Chain A
Amino acid sequence: MVKLITHNLLCCHARGCNYPENFPLVFRDVTQLEVREADYNAEFLQKMMPRLEWKALVDTAKQLGDTSLPEELPEGEAMDEEFLKKLHHVLMEIHIEEGAMHCPKCDHKYPILQGIPNMLLAEHEIGR
């Protein structure tokens, strides 16, 4: 169940890959995407929003076929319930069950199996 909130946190950690070039990971070969209702919590969304990489979220949602989010993160009055409901849907209700995420820099593939992304690297792929 890779939600976009999780995707917004993940980075490639292979040798030579550093932020921000290793972010965001790109979904590929998504063979199973599910939309599942989740409990809506406006307070959580409002307060965590500044921690998001907004452009990465909007672009990734678009790639998955959801164009409901505005290009710019709304402020003040524009951050109304209608907007928060859309954000809730994109962040918390879209799940990638099967597929992969690729590093935008080195193209390393992180597979997603039964909703669990495998972020492990082999010893020779590790930088440090």
Chain B
Amino acid sequence: MTLTAHDSSQLEALRQDPALHESTYVHAVYDNIADHFSQTRYKPWPIIAAFLASLAPGSVGLDSGCGNGKYLPLDQEGKIMLLGMDRSIGLLAHAQRAGGKGREVVRGDAMRVCWRPEAFDFAISIATIHHLSTPERRQQAIEALLRSVSSTHGRVLIYVWATEQDELSKRTVPDDPERAGKKVQDVFVPWQKTAVKGKGKEGESGKQEVHQRYYHMFEKGELRGLVEQAGKSLGLQVLEGAEGAAMPGLQIVQEGWERSNWYVELLRHAPHR
């Protein structure tokens, strides 16, 4: 599958009204494809499953951009709780009964904090922030995650799509004609939906519908850069290790690339004496 770069008029539209761009090419599309999308989501990523398995019993967490809720059942059989939030009501209808059980879900905006400050022990943001169309909005979403978790022990895990895709992803990111050796970052990713004709005769083939979703593909180092900006704007000292924070700290626990995604795991902690 080849992703399509935005042409100049699409880029201009994005810059003029990023919220409208997301409304048209993200929210409306997910509402439209929710049922089909939910049939095709495969198993959880190993690093995310390991993160959820490592949380202390009693932890309450936010899945910001939970989609159809595929991570909500990974709750250590009720020893922890995940609360799902998404913008798409169509996806939330699926998330509400993910794994065959009632799940707590809220319709909300990944850039906003509609919780008590530091209400959660942890937060995950999987394949969500890449749907926001400007650097400011992506940074704001990371700030919202950081503000939603405890300042003394809050853990955050973020995954976004990478410009660096492996063979397994079947996605090709076009080269950027303006920047030698770089890929384009603002793209449309087609979603093929087979619409089955109502009351169609047996054997009649459904017609193909293609929906274009907006993605911002992340380059190496970009996610970390945004995290550092977000931490700074919240007055947090960004650290590689746990030691030496004179002010409230944000530790980068791990970061890397997994199966065509960039990820980063963060830990907030109180200043050391």
Partner of B112, one of A3, A44, A121: A121
Which residues of A, 94-125, contact B by the 8 Å Cβ criterion? 95, 114-121, 123
Q: Is the interface of B mostly helix, strand, loop or mixed?
A: loop
CA distance A2 to B121 in the complex (A): 20
Q: Report B-chain residues with C-beta under 8 Å of the C-beta of A45.
A: 58
CB-CB contacts of B66-83 with A at 8 A, as 1s and 0s? 000000000001111101
CA distance A5 to B59 in the complex (A): 12
Contact B106 A44 (CB under 8 A): no
Contact A120 B58 (CB under 8 A): no
Contact B58 A11 (CB under 8 A): no
Q: Report B-chain residues with C-beta under 8 Å of the C-beta of A1.
A: 96, 102-105
Give min CB distance, B59 to chain A, whole Å. 7
Contact B92 A44 (CB under 8 A): no
**Contact-size category for B:** 35 or more
Count contacts between A and B, CB distance < 8 Å.
93
CA distance A11 to B89 in the complex (A): 20
Contact B121 A51 (CB under 8 A): yes
Which residues of B, 47-89, contact A by the 8 Å Cβ criterion? 56-60, 77-81, 83, 85, 87, 89
Query: Interface size on A (CB < 8 Å)?
Result: 36
Partner of B58, one of A19, A23, A46: A46
Partner of B78, one of A10, A41, A46, A120: A41
Contact B117 A19 (CB under 8 A): yes
Give min CB distance, A45 to chain B, whole Å. 8
Closest residue of A by beta carbon distance from B140: A128
Closest residue of A by beta carbon distance from B79: A44
Contact B107 A9 (CB under 8 A): no
Contact B58 A10 (CB under 8 A): no
Known: A120-B87, A120-B107, A121-B112. A41 touches B102 (CB 8 A): no
Residues of A within 8 A of B (CB): 1-3, 5-6, 9-13, 19, 23, 36, 38-39, 41, 43-49, 51, 53, 95, 114-121, 123, 126
Between-chain CB contacts (< 8 Å), 10 pairs: A1-B96, A5-B81, A9-B116, A10-B115, A11-B115, A39-B78, A41-B78, A41-B79, A48-B81, A51-B121
